[in-house]
Chain A
Amino acid sequence: MMFSLRAMDTEITLHAPGLPAEHRAALGLAVGDVFAAAEARFSRFLHHSELSQLNRATEAFAASPALLAALLRARGHVAMTEGRFDPTIGGALIAAGYDQSFDRVFARAGERASPSHPRPAGHAARRPRFEEIDVDEARGLVYRPLDIQLDLGGMIKGATVDEASRLLPRDAALDAGGDAVLRGDDPADGDGDGSGGWLVEVEDPRDPDGTVATLRLRDQAVATSAANRRRWRAGQRWAHHLIDPATGAPARTDLLQVTVVADRAERAEVLAKAAFIAGSRDGARLLSRLPGVGAVLVRADGALLFLGALDVVEHAAAARPLAAPSAIAPQGGP
């Protein structure tokens, strides 16, 4: 019924119940090729990837059309999120200890709890901005300040799900560790309630076995950001991978998790990360301005907030429908 593989340090699962088994296997291999190509080009953990070469370049870098297109899309995302999404956080990730694939970061966390490249005492880190990256689209060149490291991780994962989903048949779903595209209806639910679509569970960030809500999605994408998985010990504190570009440090927020439903997985991924970093109040304001976007926010005080166009099938008891962003209580409020 499903086909799964592992790429980008994530489990990729393909659901195409109506497809013959042999076609499903072929489709799975083609999807795997898409992910492998994206990882080879955009991983900052692979020495020979194009992104790693760009991060090492000391002069103008001749980028491939795929990398140029990604950087131009990233520029749009930075504007859309008012800078809360910013690929120039690569250096901050390294400083926080996320300088290699997460399996290795997690494995060494017990033996080395300090950042791999600690800054000199008293040296405040510069906070780079994506505007400093000069993308010359006409000549295919990228100019990068030498102290800026780019990280396109989550965005590229979403983009790869979008790209691979073009290979899917009419009724199918592709899930890359929670970033998913749901196309058409779930064929195996023909005897269900007749309302079609795919049911998507939203994990409870406090309990990996729990579910805070079940959503119905059709021809939509979903992505979730939280700090409950990719986190590690850094000194006396926990660090995580969601870096706030404004501080250059792991985001401190009143949110435990943000799930965004949008038309594309890349957009959902970027918005989920930006809203998480922004916090419940500013994050809800950000998301509510965007048409066709829905969100489920899990706040640290246990409140469950729904925003925008969502088809919520069921939800946990602590849910609170969100009519307007102003309905959100300030952090620590009731």
Chain B
Amino acid sequence: MTSPLDRKKAPATARQDPGELRWWITAGLATTYLVAWWAFAPAQVSDAPAPTGLATEADVTAPPVAAAAPRSTPPGATNVVLWWHELPLALRPKLELPAGWQVATPDRRAAPTIGAQRAWRPTAAYRTVAQERRRRPRVRTRSS
């Protein structure tokens, strides 16, 4: 007969260690995931249109107007960025612009996205420059 003390000192060879069991399960799942990814992922990539740097950049930086455009784009179309002025009036999203802002004009198309620019206002500096071109009164008569 063995005492309880002796059983404690005996190596656990008959039972599986729980930590070791968790390691094997994790390794199995990881192997399954890798095999599945290897089997299916290449097929999806090959079906996608060839990515371009411009499209990727547009996806990242496109404003709400451009992001809304693909919804009305027919399947298979490659035009993922639309200019505001090229949209039919009925399809143009309604924009709530802050006071003093306006939609960029078509001649500003050099920019990669449709944007809004602040409406021009004459600044204090502009007025000062404009006034200095004419004769500047130095004396101001008033009651004192």
Which residues of A pack against B, CB within 8 Å?
Answer: 2, 10, 13, 15, 173, 175-180, 182, 186, 189, 192-193, 198-203, 205, 208, 211, 214, 222-230, 257, 259
Contacts and interface: CB of A to CB of B under 8 A. Distances in A.
Given A224-B143, A226-B143, A193 B137 contact: no
A200 B144 contact: no
A-B CB proximity, top 3 nearest? A177-B144, A226-B143, A199-B137
A192 B142 contact: no
Contacts of A10: 144
B33 to A, nearest CB: 76
24 contacts: A2-B138, A10-B144, A13-B139, A15-B138, A173-B138, A177-B144, A178-B141, A178-B142, A178-B143, A180-B139, A186-B138, A189-B135, A189-B136, A199-B138, A200-B137, A200-B141, A201-B137, A201-B140, A201-B141, A202-B141, A203-B140, A222-B141, A224-B143, A227-B143
B93 to A, nearest CB: 45
A200 B140 CA distance: 5
Given A199-B135, A199-B137, 19 more contacts: A13-B139, A15-B138, A177-B142, A179-B144, A180-B139, A186-B138, A192-B134, A192-B135, A199-B136, A200-B137, A200-B139, A201-B141, A202-B140, A203-B141, A203-B143, A211-B140, A226-B142, A230-B143, A259-B141
A176 B143 CA distance: 10
Contacts of A2: 138
Contacts of A224: 141-143
A177 B142 CA distance: 7
Interface in B98-137: 134-137
A227 B134 CA distance: 32
Contacts of B142: 177-178, 202-203, 208, 224, 226, 229
Contacts of B136: 189, 199
Interface residues of B, number: 11
A229 B139 contact: no
A74 to B, nearest CB: 20
A329 B142 CA distance: 25
Interface of B: 134-144
A229 B144 CA distance: 6
B144 A193 contact: no
A123 B142 CA distance: 36
Contacts of B138: 2, 15, 173, 186, 198-199
Contacts of A223: 141
A15 B139 CA distance: 9
B139 to A, nearest CB: 5
Contacts of A228: 143
B144 A178 contact: yes
B143 A173 contact: no
A182 B139 CA distance: 9
A8 to B, nearest CB: 9
Contacts of A175: 139-141
A39 B135 CA distance: 34
A177 B139 CA distance: 9
Scoring A182, A224, A227 by chain B CB atoms within 10 A of each residue's CB, the highest score goes to A224
Contacts of A259: 141
A201 B143 contact: no
Contacts of A211: 140
B130 to A, nearest CB: 15
A182 B136 CA distance: 14
B136 to A, nearest CB: 7
Nearest to B138: A15
A201 B138 CA distance: 8
B84 to A, nearest CB: 42
Nearest to B144: A177
A202 B141 CA distance: 5
Contacts of B141: 175, 178-180, 200-203, 222-224, 259
Contacts of B140: 175, 178, 200-203, 211
A228 B142 CA distance: 10
Nearest to A180: B139
A175 B138 CA distance: 9
Contacts of B135: 186, 189, 192-193, 199
Nearest to A13: B139
